[in-house]
Amino acid sequence: MSNVAGFCADEFAAVRTAFTEQVESGAELGAALCVTVDGDPVVDLWGGHADPERTTRWGADTLVNTFSITKTMTALCALLLVDRGELDVYAKVAHYWPEFAANGKADIEVRHLLSHTSGVSGWATEFPFSDIYDNESSAALLAEQEPFWEPGTASGYHANNYGHLIGELVRRIDGRSLGRFFAEELAEPLGADFHIGRAAQYSERIATLVPPDFGTFDQDLLPKDSVLYKTLFQPLLDFELCATPGWLDAEIGGTNGQGNARSVARVQSVISNGGELSGRKFLSAKTIDLIFDQQADGVDLAVLMPLRFGIGYGLSQPHTAPEVPQDGRVCWWGGLGGSMVVNDLDNRVTVAYTMNRMAPGLIGSDRANAYLKPVFAAVRG
């Protein structure tokens, strides 16, 4: 009996072969892969197991924590408000959130938050990781602090607080929380099984994560005043919390979205399909063009790797994402452990990959690359 299920169009047969090899070899514990063209699935595969004991098969409706893929959903929420004229990416954050102007942040613009260039990439003080579940109080802390570097001059990946920053703008403008806004404006209209918060009710369908082995590392060796330390270690992600009801129900728009490849591809196809999906116009071409307004290109101050950001998404970068197409209108992002989404607007293609055995490294993985390569060979020749 094969450990892989689903369907694959004939022209993407090499994609199914690559996915099957990774699942059957055990490189994947459990995973899902979806490719859409013109908004419709042409590859929808899943396989392996949802638990490390291999007692539960990964099913068609298995969900998993997608970590920073959630940021693309959060960015899309912001772009919806932009398209409606309720949010201006070139306006000051303080126009919508007056308290944010404190301590040298009065001139930070919305685009700086969306492109990880605001200087507010984390919290200035240490506290328990579970404190970030309270969006309003943890956002208030961000509003009070000074930026870690001169805003707009470089990127510093907003690893844990991206959703707190953008979510607070959504709440101030719309009145709904980020998770509710996403559910009502994107997930439900699109029939997408992706959730930012309120996910404990789906716990029986959520795959168990197997954290990566980062080896032995003494965080005390890091300078406490470095952007890296303040971003990634204040607070440090606690994998043991990622299966708890508190984590699943919190609306952490940067890190805790629960979904699968099909749901990720469904929502993100709004971008690759030119803003329109299932007969509904979500975004105009003008709003989508903002994604490709480059805001930063260089070594990121928080994760110390080359990154290139537009507004809301990563842009092609040959060193960090070698299998993401380097030409044309392509935007992408990856989640901790290797999950990935890529939107190729020129070919109206979205690729999404989710899994529960996490690879080491902050962005991308060898397994993700193994799938992206045959997908774009088929699409681009």
- Which residues are annotated as catalytic? 68
- Give the Å distances, CA to CA, from 64 to 96, 323, 375: 33, 23, 22
Q: Which amino acid is at 200?
A: A
**By the 8 A CB rule, do 105 and 147 touch?**
yes
- Give the Å distances, CA to CA, from 237 to 20, 295, 299, 357: 31, 27, 23, 17
Dist CA 316 CA 347 (whole Å): 15
Dist CA 365 CA 358 (whole Å): 9
**By the 8 A CB rule, do 64 and 375 touch?**
no
Dist CA 167 CA 93 (whole Å): 12
Burial class (CB in 10 A: 0-12, 13-18, 19+), 369: middle
- Give the Å distances, CA to CA, from 19 to 43, 55, 372, 374: 11, 21, 10, 10
- Determine the distance from the C-alpha atom of residue 187 to the mean position of all C-alpha atoms in its chain, rounded to a whole number: 15
Dist CA 55 CA 323 (whole Å): 33
Dist CA 306 CA 294 (whole Å): 14
Alpha carbons within 13 A on the beta-carbon side of 338: 27
